[in-house]
Structure 1
Amino acid sequence: ASGGLSEAEIQKMVKDAEANAADDKKRREVVEAKNQGESLVHSTEKSLKDYGDKVSAADKGAIETALEALRTALTGEDVEAIQARTNELMQASMK
């Protein structure tokens, strides 16, 4: 008995490894987007608490709306939605 793997078994292992690599990459992208978004939520909440009285009501409302949209996006796994809401909150916070 040779005990070696057949060509078909080797090909299946290669395909499985490639599929797992793609899944790992997507998972990493989700985690990175969530980490960035959660960090921005935290820093924005702190800034609003510390400096909220120095921000106009309109700007504060826009920030709070963007903050809530990002919180909602962070409950999912959609990287593009999380990144878009993160960018919207950054834009609202810079005014």
Structure 2
Amino acid sequence: MTRRTHSSISSHFPCGRLLRLGSALIRELIDAADNWLGFKRLELTVYTDNAPAIRLYERFGFEREGIRRSYAFKAGAYVDALGMARLRY
């Protein structure tokens, strides 16, 4: 039995404009993970300066797990990212 797998979805939603789409996407991913795939843990990474996305993920039960310093080079500077996860008990 596979204990761990990785999928990547990159989303770049402009602040506030497409959060309804983001909510719908996260809702469907969680539904599939919980009810069809039997995943216990979902993980994601988000830039620390993306407050609207962080709030969205927290509304869906994701919790902050740690900061990844200098995670990526963005717009001419290194930026941090936040690791988040959602556990199903």
- The normalised TM-score by structure 2 is 0.29
If the length of structure 1 is used for normalisation, what is the TM-score?
0.28
Decide which structure has the larger Cα Rg and report it.
Answer: 1
Higher strand share: 2
Structure richer in helix, relative to its length: 1
Q: Which structure has more RCO (C-alpha within 8 Å, separation ≥ 6)?
A: 1
